[in-house]
Every structure is written in C-alpha cells, then in structure tokens.
Structure 1
C-alpha cells in the first residue's frame, strides 16, 4: 500500500530564538556563555531550504515586570529573587517568574539581533514579551498559555499552520528558557519538533538547567538532535 500524504509530508520551518546582543558576551546584560559561538552554525542552517525561516526576539518595555528595576529591595536581586505575576484575564491565576537584569529593551542595542546572524535570510521576526505585565519565554504564548497582540507581534502558531509547516527545528538562546519553552509550545500546537543541541546554548548548561529541559522535552516527544544528524540532512535534500 502506498504511503499516505500525511506520512510523507515534510515542510520544515527553522525558528532562531533570541540571538540578541543582551544575551551574548561580552557586553550583554544577560549574557549566556558561548552565545555568539553558535552563529556560524545558525547561518549554515539559514542557507538550507527550510520552507519558512523565523527569528524571535525579546522586545520588552523599560518597565517590564521581570526586571529587577521594577521591584523594591530586597526582592529585586537578579538570578536570586522571584515574583508572582497574575494573569490579566484571570487574576486568580498566578505564576512565579525569576527576576532578571534589564535586557532587550525596545529601541536599545541590547534588543538587536547580533550582526553575526544573517538577518536577510529570515522571512519574519517575531517580537515577544512586549506586555509589561507578563513573562513570555515561548514565542507562541505567555507563561499562562495566552496569546495576544499586546504580548507578541505575530501569532506564530497560526503563521506556521497557514504556511503548511509540519516540522519545526528550534535553535538559539537559551535552551533552558526561551528555546525550551518555544519547542514545548510548538509540540503542543501539533508540530513535529526538533531542537538542534549544538546550535543552542543555555543559562545553566548543567543537569539542573538544560539537563532538566531535555528530559521534559523528550518526555513530550520532542527530539534533541545534532547538526550532523539525519534530521538536518533531510532538510538539505528538499528540492
């Protein structure tokens, strides 16, 4: 019996997450070790025949709720403090988020995608985290799972589905936050999802950070792959 169209369908998208100045050494306010080092690999991926190539970037207002400057001492220590935020649509729902240094503020150099990345190859850029009241690690939804034009410039799920995308490859920064959350939400939206590990860097590269996210993603059926693996070769072979 011939394979069904669903079985042979392969229309992949590449999501390049938050390759921004503030997330990269040497001067980023929230620099992730090795953040710039993955740019050449990402550019190689951008040269491949993905059906859609999407960049995401944090694009916060100056008074974003995750910033240490938005809170009074002593609960305002970056990487140590946390705060409970409320779902604007349902105040009874709360979510605990980390407190961060000020980063990726709209209109600042820190919000720019690093020049090592060939931005001319992107079909679109999703600006996320624009609502000062909400944390948004994923490019698909905020931490409560909500989608709004206030929080993100593009409804990424609808955009991918309208383009007929079947598989999503995720790379960028950071594996244990925005990359991981974006991959998980992509899976929830019904896509086959791959995270290319050697094109990703994490805030915590150890077992408590990236290691925990890997386990969580793999449990959901997300594949953690390598650039030189057959999953990337399949993209290269697209006509």
Structure 2
C-alpha cells in the first residue's frame, strides 16, 4: 500500500487556549507551529477534532454536586473520569477553533464528547471504547497509512488519539513542540507511554527540514 499521510489537529479550541475555561499553559504557542507545518508540508488529508460537549456533560465538575474540580471519580458504567471545568459546550465561543489556526474548506472535522454520559479524549473513540467517532471511517476512505498528531492537550486528547491510531495500525507520529500538556507529571508519563507503544515523537524541525 502506498504511504498516505494525514495531519490530525486535536482540539485547538478557545477553551483550551489563553483565557479559556480550561486553558493549557502556553497553548497558543502551538498555533504558529501548526500553521508552518501546514504551509510547508504536504498532507494527503487534514483532520480537525473538536471537543463538543452538551450542557451538563459528565466530565464537568458542575455536573457532580459535592465533587471538586480535577477530582478523579468513577462513572456509573465503571469508566474513570477526571472532573474538569465546563468547557467546549456545543455552540459556545469556547468550543470554536481559534481563528488564527490555518484551516481549509477541505479539512475534515471530527466532533467528540457529544454524549452526556461518556467523555472522549481520543478523536477515534469514547473513553470506554463503546462507540467510535467518524474519524476511522474517514481515514480508511482516504486510504491513509500514516498520521501526524498535533494539538492540545499532549497528556490527554493528543496522547489518547495517538495511542488509538497506533492500535488501529497507523504509523503514528506526535510533534511534541506542536502540542502542550495540562501538567508536567502527566505530560512526562504520556510521552513515556507513547514511546513504549512505538509512537514516534519528533520536533517540528524534523518535518520542516
């Protein structure tokens, strides 16, 4: 099979950026890096993922009276869940992709976390792997063999997406400096886990030459 590569841009949305309800440190710095990658590297397909939560989503601490922000709980179906501030509510400004990010009409948009009872860090599956998004079918329709993953947050949605991509058989690469993580400890653990999985971790300069 001929090599065909997709760029997966994960959750570069206002709520995860400077001033957002779940802002990731220095996250705005990924935007010019991703734009440069898009401008200088050819991809056979580009995918943009968006957290797209209904009001009252199970990942919101506000949906669990008596629970604290960033507390770890177990959902009724047994799935672990960290509790976050309300973020990326469907139709809100915070759920929109930052206007400085280079987008094209041909980009394929994947919505995730749309179901109130289960979160979806990965752009492929919900956290319990009970349901899939539109991403896998789309990549298969484009005969994609390789994926390059960038975006936010490295220790959650980027890592989960990359791990699923590897499990699905894609040659998977994460561009570390085109990502930002929520916390140093979880970011370091995510990087180690991805390396053990056989995921390539590179710097943008490797792609840009």
The bucket for the TM-score relative to the shorter chain is: over 0.9
In the superposition, the TM-score normalised over structure 1's length comes to 0.83
1:203 aligns with 2:182: yes
State the shift of 1:120 in Å.
2.3
* Secondary structure of the structure 2 residue equivalent to 1:219: helix
Equivalent residue, structure 2, for 1:37 = 29
1:46–1:121: 8 Å Cα contact kept in structure 2? Answer: no
State the shift of 1:84 in Å.
1.0
The structure with more radius of gyration:
1
Equivalent residue, structure 1, for 2:102 = 118
Query: What are the superposed Cα offsets for residues 11-69 of structure 1, whole Å, 9 maximum, x if unpaired?
Result: 110000000000001x2000001111110111112223100000001000011001011
1:54–1:122: 8 Å Cα contact kept in structure 2? Answer: no
**Are residues 190 and 86 of structure 1, via their aligned partners in 2, closer, same or farther at CA, if it must alter by over 3 Å?**
farther
**Are residues 122 and 99 of structure 1, via their aligned partners in 2, closer, same or farther at CA, if it must alter by over 3 Å?**
farther
1:109 aligns with 2:102: no
In the superposition, the TM-score normalised over structure 2's length comes to 0.95
State the shift of 1:166 in Å.
0.8
1:53–1:121: 8 Å Cα contact kept in structure 2? Answer: no
Q: How well do the aligned residues superpose, as a CA RMSD in angstroms?
A: 1.4
Query: What are the superposed Cα offsets for residues 127-177 of structure 1, whole Å, 9 maximum, x if unpaired?
Result: 1100000010000001111225xxx4xx21121112111110000000000
Distance 1:130 1:220 in 2: 28
Query: What are the superposed Cα offsets for residues 65-88 of structure 1, whole Å, 9 maximum, x if unpaired?
Result: 010110111x2x112x2221244x
* 5+ long unaligned stretches in structure 2: none
1:55–1:124: 8 Å Cα contact kept in structure 2? Answer: yes
Count of residues in correspondence between the two structures: 208
Matches within 5 A, 1:78-117: 78-79=69-70, 81-87=71-77, 94-117=78-101
* Secondary structure of the structure 1 residue equivalent to 2:79: strand
1:59–1:106: 8 Å Cα contact kept in structure 2? Answer: yes
